[in-house]
């Protein structure tokens, strides 16, 4: 990339914080309706961000090519989000406001996100609820027919809208229905079972992608005037995570290798309330919604290696450690803090369950207070899911929970317009580094995905398209041909291995290393070790991986090996980032930087910034660039939830 | 524990396909059916053989990807469960497992246990939406919706689009799937404007996709992982009838007015 592209201007508009977005929107250039018809946009991914963006762009009159590797857009992993979506409606009259949602989000992110972006997010949050209601999303209601709210971690107001424990599902189905309408109208061309393999840049602009049809194995090129990545997060770098099995880093990592900056890759959220792993066969971890912490009390035995059944441990010998350490937020302390506290308890040998990596989430008091039926009404489906997976009845015995990798705050760097440093490449939803800083608050991911897709990108992409002279390009151009050839070579390299190990074994090995060295706590030594170990795993992977040698059609082993190959490179970028960020903040906890009570210690003088990594060539350490964060409206303070 | 697993193998839609048996050893009761298949696939891959293709993703019972007939029952015999949420502990020791794809004329096999369910997407495209553009929405609380109505709509909207209802039906009918969406939107004021047109279009698409007719025996609801009620099929019929009557009345009105 040229030096100019790496100036990383965040393009934050002038004006007072509360008017920036309105002023900016009014100044954006528009594309006339008859010109929109001539413009094509590629949207990769059909989760909340991708589906909402594809539908909204099509409504505006652009021609959209939407891609998903699933059999249907409705399968995207947004569907698994349980708890809810935040908005600053203040329907509860409990003092909520756009300002408060903005402030909670910035503080929750430990002051490592852009004020202007987060403020805009809080502003459009209310429109999202309106839009979803209009689509027929069946939000929970009060007896009077008004929308209901629940509380979530990191906030003292009740601002979370929900559909039982299936909020992500219902919001995604809303966006999917809007998308379906545009598919029917011919405005969106839907490419299912098609995976993005590479990004194509022509004359310095993102102009298309290379794809592989996972059924036929065909490599194809798709050309457009702009490319939108909505490809989700990379928590599966840890192998075991709450992400769906197919979630991966390939699309964003390929864009990184083509020159897009990767921002804050070490900011990964470990969710405190997941069902602990039961053994080596474990293929993924299951999250239990954070909303359970509204009524459940988290505790561990006071004594080390207490093997008694939970109901046999008397009240006096239980340590409700979150209530003890954080009396004002208690069980609703933010995710990073709650996760770390659980790890500490287990590190002390007070963990429960067969593996000793677990703590109790106890509903006995809530059941006594509210009755079994009320608890069933609130959390019935989650209790059923827990019972099905563990074989234990959470109405009778406390749940066992343990933190699990869940969400990536890091992602491709974008400016205020959600465009990366590669002109024409837009990144939305979890795939960008966005608005959550070093730690995301509960019920904010759905908000951000839909804010980007419905209410921000459709405006900002128009400005880019209006300012960019249309030039014709075709799949026969040299850039597309070269990228396709490189994709085929990568596939061939995987197929030509004559090894005896499955890709999954390498993925598991990488995951164990990453959770140990670059997970809930990190150290200089540990990260240096990881940076030594990862290339060795990668070399072994290319030497020993077994992939069934057939690229003529569906080959699930090949698909998976390709994703693992990218994780094996990407993990290094994460560790470089975690090593360079010589402070603790949010989910990034460097053991060298903590108070005597074990709380994170930020270094605002050196690290109140976004770290952005540039690909510097194969085998080279990536180059670090920095975007300073300027806090004009919030005061940098120690995050205090005590 | 050890098990013998019989799996439907079929290279492509054109291939004949057959059951192939695989011995699976050192299993634990906490493994899910999909983790059992992971283990079989690991062995196949390291032996240079083609792994079993199957759709799966969230493994939490919500994405609707997994789609297997387990010992003759779509998603297995456990009530209100998906394939991914079916664990080996629920099988009697020593029992053999038979894994087959969801079968229906409208669900051609892609490979092995993986089928093409895009017909369900096309039913949605025919009318499973409210025609409201981004930005055109009124304030969320402008229209009050009774709690019981919202709950009923949510019951219907809980469908995960897996297609087990089709696989369980002797006629391979998609009535339960279609009924769930039609009912969800018909119950809510937001879906009311297009209510009449929607149901007729979705039913027409359902028929065009070669799904069979409903004979009200309820195999669909019995296997549904989200326990979508048969009542919605009754509602679908009512909605369709209502819409057809409305058309007749509207037509008659026009004729009278023209006189």
Element housing B110 (H / E)? strand B109-111
Identify which of A134, A138, A503 has the shortest CB distance to residue B137. A134
Q: Chain B: give the shortest CA distance to residue A378, in Å.
A: 12
Question: What mean pLDDT value characterizes chain A?
Answer: 95
Q: Which pLDDT band holds residue A5 (cuts at 50, 70, 90)?
A: low
- Say what the pLDDT of residue B105 is: 96
Across the interface, which of B34, B120, B130 has its CB nearest the CB of A135? B130
Domain residue ranges of chain B, discontinuous segments joined by +:
3-111, 117-131+140-258
Nearest to A338 by CA among A399, A270, A286: A270
Domain B3-111 has CATH 3.10.20.30: yes
Judged by DSSP in three states, B62 sits in coil
**Mean pLDDT calculated for residue range A590-619:** 94
Q: What class, spelled out in words, does domain A272-403 have in CATH?
A: alpha beta
DSSP-assigned beta bridge partners for residue A271: A404
Q: Is residue B3 a contact partner of residue B92, using CB atoms and an 8 Å limit?
A: no
For helices A167-185 and A115-135, the axis angle rounded to 10 degrees is 70
Question: Three-state SS for A36?
Answer: helix
Residue A550 confidence (pLDDT) above 80: no
pTM of the full predicted structure?
A: 0.96
Q: Which of A136, A184, A278 sits opposite B191 (nearest CB)?
A: A136
- Note whether A281 contacts B38, CB cutoff 8 Å: yes
Partner residue opposite A166 with nearest CB, options B51, B146, B158 = B158
Distances, alpha carbon A630 to alpha carbons A522, A605, A610, A625, A635, in Å: 26, 11, 11, 16, 11
Taking CB atoms and an 8 Å cutoff, what residues of chain B touch A144? 144
Annotated domain spans of chain A = 272-403, 485-616
Q: What does each C-alpha distance from B126 to A182, A189, B56 come to in angstroms?
A: 11, 15, 26
Q: What is the Cα–Cα distance from A118 to A17, expressed in whole angstroms?
A: 10
Nearest CA in chain B to A172: B63
The whole-number pLDDT of residue A329 equals: 87
pLDDT digits (tens, 9 = 90+) for A331-368: 988 888 899 999 999 999 999 998 899 999 999 999 99
Residue A307 has, within 13 A of its CA and on its CB side, a CA count of 2
CB B63 within 8 A of CB B83: no
The pLDDT mean for chain B works out to 96
B201 and B145 Cβ atoms separated by less than 8 Å: no
Average pLDDT over residues B230-247: 97
State the maximum Cα–Cα separation within chain B, in Å, rounded to a whole number: 82
Q: Which residues of A touch B30 (CB under 8 A)?
A: 278-279, 281, 391
CB distance B86 to B76 below 8 Å: yes
Contact B56 A245 (CB under 8 A): yes
Distances (CA, A) of B138 to A132, B141, B192: 10, 8, 15
ipTM of the complex: 0.97
Q: Kindly state the tokens that stand for A639.
A: 């995050």
Q: What percent of chain A has a predicted confidence (pLDDT) above 70?
A: 99
pLDDT tens for each residue of B98-139 = 999 999 999 999 999 999 999 999 999 999 999 999 999 999
d(CA A323, CA A316): 14
With bands split at pLDDT 50, 70 and 90, how would you rate the model's confidence at A165?
confident
Distance to chain A for B189, nearest Cα, Å: 8
Query: Inter-chain contact A138–B184, Cβ cutoff 8 Å?
Result: yes
pLDDT computed for residue A634 by the predictor: 95
Judging contacts by C-beta atoms under 8 Å, the chain A residues touching residue B184 are: 136, 138
Record: contact A279-B30, CB cut-off 8 A: yes
**Chain B, window 47-76: residues with a beta carbon less than 8 angstroms from a chain A beta carbon:** 48-51, 53, 55-65
Cβ atoms A253, A265 nearer than 8 A:
no
Banded pLDDT at B259 (limits 50, 70, 90): confident
Q: Residue A385 and residue B128: Cβ atoms within 8 Å? A: no
> In this predicted structure, what is the pLDDT of residue B93?
84
Q: Contact A415/A256 with Cβ under 8 angstroms? A: no
- How many contacts does A have with B, using Cβ atoms within 8 A? 224
For residue A405, give the 3-state DSSP assignment: strand
Give A616-642 pLDDT, tens digit per residue.
999 899 999 999 999 999 999 887 777
Query: Where does residue B21 rank: exposed (0-12), middle (13-18), buried (19+ CB within 10 A)?
Result: exposed
Decide if pLDDT at B90 tops 60: yes
Rounded to the nearest 10 degrees, how much is the dihedral formed by the CA atoms of B230, B234, B237, B243? -120
Name the closest residue on chain B to residue A53, using Cα atoms. B134
To test the contact with chain B by mutation, choose from A135, A179, A276, A503 the residue with the greatest count of B C-beta atoms within 10 A, namely A135
Rounded Cα–Cα distance for residues A98 and A100 (Å):
5
Contacts of residue B163, defined as CB under 8 A and 6 or more positions apart, other chains included, come to B64, B67, B102, B104, B107, B115, B117, B120, B174, B177
- Residue A185 in this model has a pLDDT that exceeds 60: yes
Strand bridging mode A160-161 / A85-86 = antiparallel
Interface contact B138-A130, CB threshold 8 A: yes
Mean pLDDT value of segment A591-619: 94
Q: How far is A169 from chain B (nearest CA, A)?
A: 8
Name every chain B residue with its beta carbon within 8 A of the beta carbon of A139: 140, 150
Listing DSSP states for B146-180 in one string gives -HHHHHHHHHHHT-----HHHHH-TT-B-HHHHHH
Tokens, residue B238: 């009512």
Residues of B in contact with A384 (CB under 8 A): 80
Q: Reply yes or no on domain B117-131+140-258 having CATH 2.60.40.10.
A: no
User: What average pLDDT score do residues B5-16 get?
Assistant: 95
Interface contact A163-B131, CB threshold 8 A = no
Q: Check CB contact under 8 Å for A142 and B147.
A: yes
Do the Cβ atoms of B128 and A180 come within 8 Å? yes
- The string over A218-236, giving b where at least 16 C-beta atoms fall within 10 Å of a residue's C-beta and e elsewhere, is ebbbbbbbbbbbbbbbbbb
Q: Do B146 and A547 touch (CB under 8 A)?
A: no
Taking alpha carbons only, the member of A167, A108, A150 closest to residue A333 is: A108
pLDDT value for A561: 97
Cβ–Cβ under 8 Å, residues A120 and A20: yes
* pLDDT at position A440: 94
Integer CA distances (angstroms), A192 to A250, A585, B118, in order = 17, 39, 9
Distances B164 to A120, B170, B235 between C-alpha atoms, Å: 42, 12, 20
At A382 the pLDDT is: 87
- Shortest Cα–Cα distance, A136 to chain B (Å): 6
CB contact under 8 A, A52 and B116: no
C-alpha pair distances (Å), B166 with each of B74, B169, B221, B223: 9, 5, 10, 10
* A361 within 8 A of A273, measured Cβ to Cβ: yes
Q: Cβ contact (<8 Å) for B130 and A550?
A: no
How far apart are the two ends of chain A, measured CA to CA in Å? 46
Classify the phi-psi angles of A373: left when phi > 0, otherwise alpha if psi is within -120 to 50, otherwise beta. alpha
Q: How far is A276 from chain B (nearest CA, A)?
A: 12
User: How far, rounded to the nearest angstrom, does the alpha carbon of residue A80 sit from its chain's CA centroid?
Assistant: 12
Using CA coordinates, name the residue in chain A closest to B145.
A145
Q: Which CATH architecture has domain A485-616?
A: Up-down Bundle (1.20)
Residues A438, A587 contacting (CB under 8 angstroms): yes
Q: Which of A59, A79, A504 sits opposite B133 (nearest CB)?
A: A59
**Contact between residue A83 and residue A90 where contact means Cβ atoms under 8 Å apart:** no
Q: 3-state class of A435 per DSSP?
A: coil
> Which residue of chain A is at minimal alpha-carbon distance from B115?
A71
C-beta atoms of A142 and B117 within 8 A: no
**Which of B237, B158, B52 is closest to A556 using CA atoms?**
B52
Average pLDDT for residues B64-83, to the nearest whole number?
96
Q: Residue A98 is inside which H or E element, if any?
A: helix A98-108
| Confidence at A551, pLDDT banded by 50, 70, 90 | low
Confidence of residue A385 (pLDDT cuts 50, 70, 90): confident
**pLDDT number for residue A3:** 46
Query: Contact at 8 Å (CB) between A42 and A208?
Result: yes
Cα separation, A72 vs B162, whole angstroms: 10
Nearest CA in chain A to B154: A138
CA dist., res. A37 & res. A485, Å (int): 31
End-to-end CA distance of chain B: 80
A527 vs A640: CA distance, rounded Å: 28
> pLDDT-based confidence at A2, cuts 50/70/90?
very low
Q: Give the pLDDT confidence of A80-101 residue by residue, as tens digits.
A: 998 899 999 999 999 999 999 9
């Amino acid at each position: 990339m040229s030096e100019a592209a790496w100036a990383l201007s965040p393009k934050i508009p002038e004006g007072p914080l509360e008017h920036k977005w309105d002023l900016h929107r009014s100044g954006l250039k528009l594309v006339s309706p008859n010109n929109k018809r001539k413009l094509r946009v590629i949207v990769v991914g059909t989760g909340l961000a991708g589906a909402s963006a594809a539908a909204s762009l099509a409504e505006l009159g652009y021609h959209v090519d939407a891609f998903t590797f699933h059999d249907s857009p409705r399968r995207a992993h947004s569907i698994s989000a349980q708890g809810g979506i935040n908005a600053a409606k203040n329907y509860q009259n409990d003092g909520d406001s756009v300002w408060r949602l903005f402030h909670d989000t910035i503080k929750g992110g430990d002051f490592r996100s852009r004020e202007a972006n987060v403020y805009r997010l809080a502003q459009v949050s209310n429109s999202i609820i309106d839009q979803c209601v209009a689509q027929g999303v069946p939000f929970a209601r009060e007896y009077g027919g008004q929308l209901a709210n629940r509380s979530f971690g990191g906030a003292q107001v009740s601002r979370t809208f929900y559909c039982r424990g299936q909020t992500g599902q219902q919001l995604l189905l809303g966006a999917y229905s809007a998308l379906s309408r545009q598919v029917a109208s011919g405005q969106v061309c839907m490419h299912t079972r098609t995976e993005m393999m590479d990004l194509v840049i022509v004359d310095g602009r993102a102009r298309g992608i290379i794809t592989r049809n996972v059924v036929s194995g065909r490599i194809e090129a798709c050309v457009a005037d702009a490319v939108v990545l909505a490809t989700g997060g990379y928590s599966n770098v840890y192998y075991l995570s709450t992400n769906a099995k197919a979630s991966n880093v390939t699309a964003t990592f390929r864009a990184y290798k083509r020159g897009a900056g990767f921002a804050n890759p070490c900011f990964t959220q470990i969710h405190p309330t997941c069902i602990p792993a039961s053994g080596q066969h474990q293929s993924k971890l299951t999250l239990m919604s954070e909303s359970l912490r509204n009524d459940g009390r988290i505790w561990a035995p006071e004594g080390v290696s207490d093997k008694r059944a939970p109901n046999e441990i008397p009240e006096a010998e239980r340590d409700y450690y979150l209530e003890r350490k954080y009396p004002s937020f208690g069980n609703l302390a933010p995710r990073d803090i709650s996760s770390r506290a659980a790890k500490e308890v287990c590190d002390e040998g007070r963990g429960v369950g067969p593996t000793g990596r677990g703590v109790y989430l106890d509903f006995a008091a809530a059941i006594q207070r509210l009755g079994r039926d009320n608890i069933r009404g609130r959390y019935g489906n989650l209790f059923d899911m827990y019972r099905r997976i563990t074989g234990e009845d959470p109405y009778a015995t406390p749940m066992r929970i343990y933190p699990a990798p869940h969400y990536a705050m890091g992602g491709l760097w974008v400016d205020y317009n959600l465009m990366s440093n590669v002109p024409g490449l837009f990144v939305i939803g979890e795939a960008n580094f966005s608005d959550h800083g070093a730690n995301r608050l509960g019920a904010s991911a759905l908000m951000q995905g839909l804010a980007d897709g419905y209410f921000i990108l459709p405006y900002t992409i128009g400005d880019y398209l209006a300012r960019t002279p249309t030039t014709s390009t075709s799949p026969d151009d040299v850039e597309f041909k070269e990228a396709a050839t490189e994709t085929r070579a990568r596939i061939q390299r995987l197929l030509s291995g004559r090894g005896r190990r499955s890709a999954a074994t390498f993925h598991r090995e990488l995951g164990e290393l990453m959770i140990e060295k670059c997970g809930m706590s990190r150290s200089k030594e540990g990260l240096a070790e990881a940076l030594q170990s990862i290339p060795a795993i990668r070399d072994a992977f290319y030497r020993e991986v077994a992939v069934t040698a057939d690229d003529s059609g569906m080959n699930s082993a090949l698909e998976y090996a390709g994703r693992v190959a990218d994780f094996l490179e990407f993990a290094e970028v994460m560790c470089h980032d975690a090593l360079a960020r010589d402070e603790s903040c949010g989910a990034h906890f460097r053991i060298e930087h903590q108070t005597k009570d074990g709380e994170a210690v930020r270094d605002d003088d050196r690290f109140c910034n976004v770290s952005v990594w540039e690909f510097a060539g194969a085998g080279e350490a990536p180059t670090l660039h920095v975007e300073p964060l300027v806090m004009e409206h919030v005061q940098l303070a120690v995050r205090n939830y005590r | 524990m050890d098990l013998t697993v019989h799996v439907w193998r079929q290279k492509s839609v054109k291939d004949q396909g057959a059951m192939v048996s695989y011995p699976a050893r050192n299993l634990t009761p906490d493994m899910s059916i999909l983790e059992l298949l992971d283990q079989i696939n690991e062995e196949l891959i390291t032996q240079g053989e083609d792994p079993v293709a199957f759709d799966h993703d969230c493994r939490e019972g919500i994405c609707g990807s997994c789609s297997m007939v387990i010992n003759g029952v779509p998603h297995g015999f456990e009530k209100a469960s998906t394939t991914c949420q079916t664990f080996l502990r629920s099988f009697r020791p020593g029992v053999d497992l038979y894994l087959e794809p969801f079968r229906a004329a409208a669900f051609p096999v892609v490979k092995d246990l993986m089928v093409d369910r895009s017909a369900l997407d096309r039913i949605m495209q025919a009318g499973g939406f409210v025609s409201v553009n981004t930005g055109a929405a009124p304030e969320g609380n402008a229209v009050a919706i009774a709690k019981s109505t919202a709950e009923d709509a949510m019951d219907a909207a809980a469908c995960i689009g897996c297609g087990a209802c089709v696989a369980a039906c002797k006629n391979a009918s998609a009535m339960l799937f279609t009924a769930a969406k039609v009912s969800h939107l018909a119950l809510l004021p937001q879906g009311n404007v297009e209510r009449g047109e929607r149901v007729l279009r979705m039913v027409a698409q359902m028929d065009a996709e070669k799904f069979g007719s409903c004979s009200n025996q309820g195999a669909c609801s019995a296997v549904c992982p989200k326990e979508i009620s048969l009542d919605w099929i009754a509602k679908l019929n009512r909605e369709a009838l209502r819409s057809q009557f409305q058309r007749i009345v509207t037509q008659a009105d026009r004729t009278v007015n023209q006189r």
